[in-house]
Structure 1
């Protein structure tokens, strides 16, 4: 094939990588198993090396296949972005916009604004990627992203929203049974909710608040949503965005003067999309949504000291 290797071969290769078998890749792509196998063999012949080792449990990628995976994923993301742009052409706001946000923001904050966008622009489609993994906008894994850190790539268009405040909270039922800690040292006598694996956020929080460390957590989960669910269920004391806690009158602020953390928030998109009408509409809607979200958190923080009366 020389240098004329078609995208469909790489697409089959990537599907086999992710599915672990020819049959799984065929089902994912809507192709026949012999077709996928032919694509993989053609790539192996072109590269003059094996890409997979056949085992009783499936196909295991070789070192060569692992080295090529990132490039194939970048091609897949670029092809998907091309399709989104092509299908958006025409009258009015239409087409698909792929948005990346953290689990908590994607599930707890964005749905209302997405519903409003759909009402105003019925031909608009939004793909919401709710993940704590940072999607690469330069590789077009997403068109827009909400990030809790400033973007460092010059090719991105970014709008700083401000700080989203985090604090310690507990359900009123938990406080009624176990009391409210009066000091940071008093947290040691309580059930704390936190992460299992060490994360950049946990390292930063532990540096500022040494009591907030993995060994102190009675309940652990690497899912922000699971932690939030445990907090709402009255399992213990955990970190929550102040704006989310403001929605639930039963969530009480714990040690507001001693424990406060903020995340700088940005809405970003690839610079090539600044002229895209559909992306601009979604970008502006996300900015307004996140500004309101951050503002709600600051309003809750202003009322928080009143909760200090509920102490052990």
Structure 2
């Protein structure tokens, strides 16, 4: 097997894996189809492996190709990180910052913050990754992350912004139809909105409030979908208090019976602490999220 295989060969390999054909990969990568074909052939020769077989529907990956794919994706992630880091250094705030956050925070809290940063720093670009899965900052899957748990890796710069208060909420239309529960036990007679597959946080909440463990009228793993169902009057669900206060019609129920907080942190890799673009984004997120936390407890 040859050593020092060029990254471009793996890039074309990933393109074919994703698109299923040389022509599709060429379009996605912005190169000529013969170039992709040469890259795949060169990679197969260097590795001494057949990576694809032809079929009527396109190119089918071999077992070896499937085994190589996650490693090539890791290379792709690192290459993108190198490009982002290189582009960010120099005079002024410029280049790309990859930010990751949960769906709700990313949709309901961050957009005005990021828009303000762009207006102030026109050479700054942001890649926003919305996921409830924790992106790996050590592997540079993201530059700056908003996390609802204390980071444990020593190589990260972390700032705690406080605890986002959660509460049970329903739309006033729903409460007008079904009544307002007088205590936690009364939730059994209401339509509950919750997770399809409980998160670690949800499992901990069930230990303290077992009344939330009944059959869900609406179950989804998307926080945004849960919020949309609450706003539509579908039932009672968990929402950040700060968000509910700015949404017409939402009413907090049982505030004395249920009011946990999600510890919230802004983090980035310590190697980026001197990067102007990452520092600016980090500081802006800290300031905005501190205000968000205060809005839920005032």
TM-score tier after normalising by the smaller chain length = over 0.9
Partner of 1:237: 236
SS state of the match for residue 79, structure 2? helix
SS state of the match for residue 217, structure 1? coil
Pick closer, same or farther for the CA change 1:63–1:233 going to 2, 3 Å.
same
TM-score normalised by length of structure 2: 0.93
Pick closer, same or farther for the CA change 1:148–1:53 going to 2, 3 Å.
farther
1:251 CA drift (Å): 1.2
Task: Tell me the C-alpha RMSD between the 2 structures.
Answer: 1.8
Note the alpha carbon deviations across 1:45-70, whole angstroms, 9 max, x for none.
Answer: 22222333444444444443333333
Matched, 1:40 2:36: no
CA contact (8 A) 1:74 1:140 kept: no
Pick closer, same or farther for the CA change 1:211–1:54 going to 2, 3 Å.
farther
In structure 1, stretches of 5+ residues that fail to align are 300-312
Partner of 1:221: 220
1:78 CA drift (Å): 1.9
1:248 CA drift (Å): 2.0
Separation in structure 2 between the aligned mates of residue 188 and residue 60 of structure 1, nearest angstrom: 51
In structure 2, stretches of 5+ residues that fail to align are none
CA contact (8 A) 1:95 1:124 kept: yes
SS state of the match for residue 225, structure 2? helix
Pick closer, same or farther for the CA change 1:56–1:257 going to 2, 3 Å.
farther
Note the alpha carbon deviations across 1:254-278, whole angstroms, 9 max, x for none.
Answer: 1112222221111111111111011
SS state of the match for residue 217, structure 2? strand
Note the alpha carbon deviations across 1:213-238, whole angstroms, 9 max, x for none.
Answer: 3x511012221111111111111101
How many pairs are equivalent?
298
Partner of 2:267: 268
Separation in structure 1 between the aligned mates of residue 30 and residue 155 of structure 2, nearest angstrom: 35
Partner of 2:286: 287
Separation in structure 2 between the aligned mates of residue 266 and residue 20 of structure 1, nearest angstrom: 40
Partner of 2:116: 116
1:7 CA drift (Å): 0.7
TM-score normalised by length of structure 1: 0.89
